[in-house]
Copies of this chain bind each other. A is one copy, B any other.
Amino acid sequence: MTERGATLGPGATIGILGGGQLGRMLSVAASRLGFRCHVYEPAANPPAADVAHRTFTAPYEDHEALAQFAKGVDVITYEFENVPTAALDLLESIVPIRPNRRALAISQDRLSEKAFLRDLGLATAPFAPVDRAADLDAALADIGMPAILKTRRLGYDGKGQARITAADQAGAALAAMAGAPAILEGFVTFSHEVSVIAARGLDGRVACYDPGENVHRDGILHTTTVPARLSMAQQTDAVILAGRILNALDYVGVMGVELFVTPAGLVVNEIAPRVHNSGHWTQNGCVIDQFEQHIRAVAGWPLGDGSRHSDIEMLNLIGEDVARVPELAGRADTAIHLYGKAEARPGRKMGHVNRRLPQPLNAPPMSPRGR
């Protein structure tokens, strides 16, 4: 098969599956490089529509709309990994999808993802598939408690998960899966979580941003701080590990790789085949941010320079946090990023801010990795 649009020139059009804030920021980044974006999103008035050249509002089951969308673009990427397989099959018959289907398939299924990582020789939390009650008993016996039961597919930000701390919670946990295939994961004792935002170009080159340190609240990312607390060796490990994942998948685009820092080394928590909330700091810490890096990759451009010029703390604005904007807007060194969402529902990501941290005294102008 001849791949269309190997390298995109000015005026080319990029299709984005998903119209949330990630799509919005991808579209903005694409505009910087002279591209237009068409957005496909089932929900009405998505955040990305404000900055897209065209928006398709249709379900992923509408094959006519999907075909029309695919025919109008030179390449398709996504901000959302849970696009149905049939839709992807149709789209891919018309135009290339980057990152590729394998990355999507693996990350759509927690079990496939964990197995893929284990097969690469990377450390993960202990895990076992759970399709029925007997599986869960065996898995709990094997992995121990506390453990966490998760649906294999379609969960994010803490949804579709049940914690099991005692044997009598197993039944309720399984019931919470509503019959969906599940995976039991053991807990990992870690000191903190970091993530590597890694990119791989069409030419196979890999580039990683400096790892960021993540703090979650109520299962949702709260802050990412860069640089993360990592030794030089840990940083090198993190980058090599991310590179192995991207190479193994022949990946093109940006990926978020979440890692637990443990005394025994780095443990991969999960991967996301897209730009990632923990990479938003790059908008104000680097010349080329994760959104442009992703667009460069899917457009077949060389990757950009992702070196960090500033130390940043990214803070998510969740739900009513957005009421803090007037106060935050008056702060020096704070850059505000809002998603244009009208309603501030609890748990809804409304925006984020990137705060430039004071440079440590006597630091060289370009902070080296680590601190």
Contact = CB atoms under 8 A, between A and B. Distances in A.
A301 B329 contact: yes
Given A10-B340, A305-B333, 13 more contacts: A33-B336, A34-B338, A35-B340, A49-B53, A51-B52, A287-B310, A287-B335, A287-B354, A296-B329, A305-B331, A305-B334, A307-B333, A309-B356
Contacts of A366: 359
A67 interface: no
Given A28-B28, A50-B53, A336-B32, A10 B342 contact: yes
A365 B356 contact: no
9 contacts: A10-B350, A28-B51, A31-B51, A33-B338, A287-B310, A304-B335, A305-B331, A307-B333, A309-B356
Contacts of A186: none
Contacts of A350: 10
A337 interface: yes
A338 B366 CA distance: 27
A288 B51 contact: no
Interface string A79-98: 00000000000000000000
A12 to B, nearest CB: 10
A36 interface: yes
Contacts of A284: 287
Nearest to A338: B34
A280 B87 CA distance: 41
Interface in A186-244: none
Contact of A24 (B31, B302, B322): B31
A153 interface: no
A219 to B, nearest CB: 25
A323 to B, nearest CB: 10
A101 B228 CA distance: 50
Interface in A302-349: 302, 304-305, 307, 309-310, 322, 325-326, 329-342
A309 B335 CA distance: 13
B340 A11 contact: yes
Given A284-B287, A287-B356, A335-B287, A340 B309 contact: no
Nearest to A332: B305
Contacts of A326: 301
Contact of A288 (B11, B301, B335, B341): B335
